Structure 1
Amino acid sequence: MMQSRLYLKVAEQILAYIAEKNLPAGAFLPNERKFAEMLAVSRSTVREAEVALESAGWITINRGRGRTVAATFRPEIDPLKDLDELELLEARSVVESGAAALAAHNITQEQLATLAELMEYATGADWEHARHSQQVFYQTLAAATGNVALTRSIDHLIHAYFKAASLVPDHDGQVAYLQLVKRGFSDVISTMTDHDPAGARKAMRSHFYDILTFRLDCMEREALAATRAASARERERFLMQH
């Protein structure tokens, strides 16, 4: 595994550790040396993973005091859990398009580099890894706004959306979706590089519109397939009775 990809894998393992231990916001994490021993990687790889997690708003690096779990949304009653995938996508389009405009003002070179690397993993052949990297891309972009309230709100929306949008398309559908994502992420990064707020807002809206169109097409095909299957069952039932 390439070193650049390894730190993303380590970041996933650190998130899994937080979830497994059910650590609350503000809880201290094992230090860099301990994680390196636990995960059998170098301390520099752990350091890269922690920087990525901090950029995405998952952890807080307190210089000289250690790493803590960030104060992310973890309500016992989730007000978004029963919402429809398309409703959540519409909310994300409104909120994250505005956030992209703000991020275009405030984004750092380090965050830009992280987005560019995440785009490659977010469009790779491994579907599950790609989906996770897509989430981290959106979270990193939200963190680039520099607004903690906005970052946490977007993080909550992202998690609710990815949970609702759990359907895995067939191979051709995956290829088409990943191409869509790469085009959208590339356009967003371009506007971020130019520090163009209006362009960033437009690119993000266009990206979400493309996702909406893709999902609606998938739903139409699923509904047609379900109708055909139901019709076939009715024909079979009729023939069996005569």
Structure 2
Amino acid sequence: MTRNPAPLGPDGAAPDDDRYRPGYELVAERLLHYIAEENLRPGDRLPTEQGLAEILGVTRNVTREAVKVLAAIGRLTVRRGAGIFVAAAPAVADNDQLAHYQPTDMEHVLMLLDYRQVIETETARRAATIATPLEVKAIREAALESAEVGVAGDADAFGHADELFHTAVAAAAHNVFLQSSVATVRKFAAQSDVLLFHGLAPGSLEAAGRQHVEIAEAIGAGDAVRAMDLMAQHVDTTRHQFENRIRDRLFTPDTRA
């Protein structure tokens, strides 16, 4: 289901389309493929940094940076004096396919966004139907906050407001399974954001904030059909922005140090 990664150079460099990506990102991607290919489970111990470097054919330094990144997004656990271990994926430790989610594989990312659309359009529909006045207020406040910080271009503040908004909509659906699914999808999406965009949003914060406000208005008005349609458009916009950002990464030289 996942594409086979291109061969890496000792410093983590790769040919062609991946030539502008930092070496540690490519090694992190290759390491996740290695974990999937070996069918390693949460809690399984990996080889040492040197051992992984030899397996992947790269230097130990770039391997160390890749391990740090994967530990930061919750895919690996590093225990001093004990070694490197596979960490449990969020809420899906017993599901092999989800535990081996590849955050830099476009096929996986698009499937995640497709699933997100299914889940979040339903939470929007239910919220428009059964949300309490307090829940509607929480959704509106989060939407307005996201719109405000989106115009200002404050990515960190927007990330916080975005989390509040989608969590509030999910809570207003009054279904713990839907709420858990939304939280899980967002955790997986965050892994892709970190590895591909270094935590930055793949598209316009201002546009996303406006969409949040429109969704909140539909939910507040009790218009379930419009709330569903607007949420579907919101996720679809994210998908297109994500694809565009990927193309930009492939064909625009990286100016980072």
Alignment of 1:109 with 2:137, yes or no, is no
How far the C-alpha of 1:103 sits from its partner, in A, is 1.1
**What is the Cα-based RMSD across aligned positions, in Å?**
2.8
Partner of 2:160: 132
Counterpart Cα distance in 1 of 2:145 and 2:100: 27
2:208 — aligned with what? 181
Q: Which of residues 214, 231, 239 is equivalent to 1:204?
A: 231
* 2:244 equivalent to 1:217: yes
Deviation at 1:136, TM superposition (A): 2.2
The structure-2 alpha-carbon separation of the partners of 1:128 and 1:143, relative to structure 1 and needing over 3 Å to count, comes to same
Over 3 Å counting, the alpha-carbon distance change for 1:223 and 1:153 in structure 2 is: same
Q: Which residue number in structure 2 is paired with residue 82 of structure 1?
A: 101
Task: Report the CA distance shift for 1:142/1:203 in structure 2 as closer, same or farther (over 3 A).
Answer: same
Contact 2:140 2:217 in 1 (8 A): no
Query: Is the 8 Å Cα contact of residues 170 and 178 (structure 2) preserved in structure 1?
Result: yes
Moved more, 152-161 or 201-210: 152-161
Q: Deviations over 1:103-133 (max 9, x none)?
A: 1111122122212222243341431231132
Confirm or deny: 8 A CA contact 1:85 1:165 kept in the other structure: no
Q: Which stretches in structure 2 are left out of the alignment for 5+ residues?
A: 1-89, 103-107
TM-superposed CA distance for 1:91, in Å, is 0.8
Q: Is the 8 A contact 2:93 2:99 kept in 1?
A: no
* 1:103 and 1:192 in contact (8 A); partners too: yes
Identity score, percent = 18
Against the structure 1 CA distance between its residues 154 and 81, is the aligned structure 2 distance closer, same or farther, given a 3 Å change threshold?
farther
Distance 1:145 1:85 in 2: 25
What TM-score results when the alignment is normalised by the length of structure 2?
0.53
Question: Whose radius of gyration is greater, 1 or 2?
Answer: 1
CA–CA distance in 2 between the matches of 1:178 and 1:135?
13
TM-score normalised by the chain length of structure 1: 0.56
Listed one character per residue, the Cα deviations across residues 151-177 of structure 1 (whole Å, up to 9, x for unaligned) are: 112211122122222344899x87x61
